[in-house]
């Protein structure tokens, strides 16, 4: 899930959120999850 989707979900759950200082902080550093287990967790989130 992209950063802003996660951010909105946290807002809807009433969790504290801190917006990024710069848009570049919202981009993923990895293109894909590093391991199969991580990939499955991301897909089934």
Task: Domain count for the chain, please give it.
Answer: 1
State pLDDT tens for residues 1-45: 677 888 899 999 999 988 878 877 667 666 677 788 988 887 887
**Has this prediction a pTM greater than 0.75?**
no
The beta-strand segments (E) located in 1-45 are none
CA 5 to chain centre: 7
* Dist CA 35 CA 21 (whole Å): 30
Q: What's the pLDDT at 43?
A: 82
Residue 23 belongs to what domain range?
3-43
Distances (CA, A) of 2 to 22, 41: 15, 14
Instruction: Note whether 5 and 26 are within 8 A (CB).
Output: no
CA 41 to chain centre: 12
């Amino acid at each position: 899930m992209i950063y802003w989707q996660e951010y909105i979900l946290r807002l809807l759950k009433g969790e504290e959120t801190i917006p990024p200082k710069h848009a570049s902080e919202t981009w993923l550093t990895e293109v894909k999850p590093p391991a199969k287990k991580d990939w499955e967790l991301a897909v089934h989130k």
